[in-house]
Amino acid sequence: MYLLFLAILLRISKVIGSFSPDTSDFDAYGLKIAANDVLFVQAYGDGKTFLVQFAPYNYTFDSLQCSIDYDDTAHYVYSVGIGQKQTTTLNPYFYFTGEVVSSVSSGKDTSGNNGTFIGIWINKDSTTVEQYLSRRQSISCNYFAVNHLEFISSYGHQEFFVMTVEPYGQYAIGLATEFGFIYRPFLNNTMTTKAGTDIWPNNSTFNPCAADISETFTIVAGFVENSARSRVRATPTVYLIWNTNLTILSTWSYSATNNSWQSRLAYSSVNTWSSQYTMSVKINSNDPTRVLIGMPFLNTVFLFIVGNNGASLTLASSFENGQSVGYGKSITWLTSSQAAILVTTYIFI
């Protein structure tokens, strides 16, 4: 089995200290950028706005870019998402999820809601992008509106929370340490939630760091917390989850090679979100049986094979980039057998 990788180098200087997330941090808590062949969206926490860009992305005569203010200034957006095969140009939409910020004195937003939220922004403009192009007019975001905004208020702050959108944009799955949900904005039964104790096996505490979804299953990577008395405080773990009911079908746990530099890692601070322990997951859209998972703290990218009609997860190979960190911070498939890997070089001060 062969793979051709394109490595992208990025050098970052990082000062180690106590982690204090802020709205200008584009890495904090989730993916702030999503795109497909129709729509690009980016969440700006500092300005509490979404930047929206319509395709074609190489069009330069008039602006196909506009911005949307957050629906509530008390909302902190973790992630945005768009289905990769969600190609309709009529009323395009994107998913967004986050949390009502606790810095607000009441702990609630202007509508009295608190907790984790998820919704979709839909463009209800009757004028299509093609019509804007033919008329040589700049596009407007004035017709975007929030739809089917749902709140999960029975749990506290989730330090680890990931969302992934089904390829055709029909639903989204959210996974946190204490709960998971399936959000179906186009059905009457919009939200189905499930306690984390009913998802993560063996009464474990699992902190999800990254996820991707196919039409039938989801791959999520994160850390299972070990005993406080253990030298190694957590284990990097990957779950294969059935989309229909969030049932775990297969599990893979990382085990370092004896006497390797990775075997000395203790993961002592993985119970608090940190860019030091981010991960990345990408399912091949051309062949969903092939999955790449980047664990930059191990300087390694893993290739998994999903077998048995989506019921098993097997490690096929791994690709390490020496005794360093940063390899695999972000990954994507280019074809069925080619991938691009972001190689981030960290300098710890």
- 295 and 161, same domain (yes or no): no
- 121 and 188, same domain (yes or no): yes
How confident is the model at residue 11, as a pLDDT? 45
199, 228, 261 — which closes off a domain? Answer: 199
- 32 and 146, same domain (yes or no): yes
- 92 and 126, same domain (yes or no): yes
Least confident of 54-63, 198-207, 280-289, 300-309: 54-63
Query: How many percent of the chain have pLDDT more than 90?
Result: 64
How confident is the model at residue 90, as a pLDDT? 84
Report the run of H or E that residue 262 belongs to, with start and end.
Answer: none
How confident is the model at residue 325, as a pLDDT? 87
How confident is the model at residue 29, as a pLDDT? 82
Work out the average pLDDT over 13-39: 67
- 213 and 129, same domain (yes or no): no
pLDDT digits (tens, 9 = 90+) for 278-310: 999 999 999 999 999 999 999 999 999 999 999
Report the run of H or E that residue 79 belongs to, with start and end.
Answer: strand 75-81
151, 172, 199 — which closes off a domain? Answer: 199
- How far apart are alpha carbons 156 and 99 in whole angstroms? 10
Whose tokens are 């940063």? That residue is 326
Q: How is residue 129 written in tokens?
A: 């992008």
- 111 and 214, same domain (yes or no): no
- 142 and 288, same domain (yes or no): no
- CA torsion sign, 199 to 204 to 210 to 214? negative
- 9 and 138, same domain (yes or no): no
Q: For residues 114 and 147, is the Cβ–Cβ distance under 8 A?
A: no
Number of domains in the chain: 2
pLDDT digits (tens, 9 = 90+) for 138-153: 888 999 999 999 999 9
Res. 136 pLDDT band, cuts 50 70 90: confident
Instruction: Indicate the pairing of strand 338-348 with strand 327-333.
Output: antiparallel
How confident is the model at residue 104, as a pLDDT? 59
Which of 28, 76, 20 shows the shortest CA–CA distance to 48? 76
178, 199, 220 — which closes off a domain? Answer: 199
- How far apart are alpha carbons 297 and 256 in whole angstroms? 12
pLDDT digits (tens, 9 = 90+) for 313-336: 999 999 998 888 889 899 999 999
Contacts by 294-298, CB closer than 8 A, 24 or more apart? 294/327, 294/328, 294/329, 294/330, 294/331, 294/341, 294/342, 295/221, 295/236, 295/254, 295/328, 296/325, 296/326, 296/327, 296/328, 296/329, 296/344, 297/265, 297/325, 298/236, 298/254, 298/262, 298/265, 298/325
- 135 and 227, same domain (yes or no): no
- 217 and 339, same domain (yes or no): yes
Could you tell me if residue 112 is left (phi over 0), alpha (psi between -120 and 50 degrees) or otherwise beta?
left
* Total-model pTM: 0.90
pLDDT digits (tens, 9 = 90+) for 71-111: 998 899 999 999 999 988 889 999 999 998 866 567 788 88
Q: For residues 246 and 180, is the Cβ–Cβ distance under 8 A?
A: yes
Q: How is residue 138 written in tokens?
A: 């700049």
How confident is the model at residue 4, as a pLDDT? 56
Work out the average pLDDT over 197-212: 96
How confident is the model at residue 299, as a pLDDT? 94
How confident is the model at residue 291, as a pLDDT? 98
How confident is the model at residue 21, as a pLDDT? 40
- 137 and 229, same domain (yes or no): no
Find the domain containing 68 and state its range. Answer: 22-199
How confident is the model at residue 63, as a pLDDT? 82
Mean pLDDT, the chain, integer: 88
Work out the average pLDDT over 22-38: 83
The DSSP output letter for 111 is T
Work out the average pLDDT over 41-70: 89
How confident is the model at residue 88, as a pLDDT? 82
Instruction: Pick 188 or 142 by higher pLDDT.
Output: 142
How confident is the model at residue 23, as a pLDDT? 67
Res. 15 pLDDT band, cuts 50 70 90: very low
- 45 and 190, same domain (yes or no): yes
Res. 274 pLDDT band, cuts 50 70 90: confident
pLDDT digits (tens, 9 = 90+) for 223-247: 999 987 788 899 999 999 999 999 9
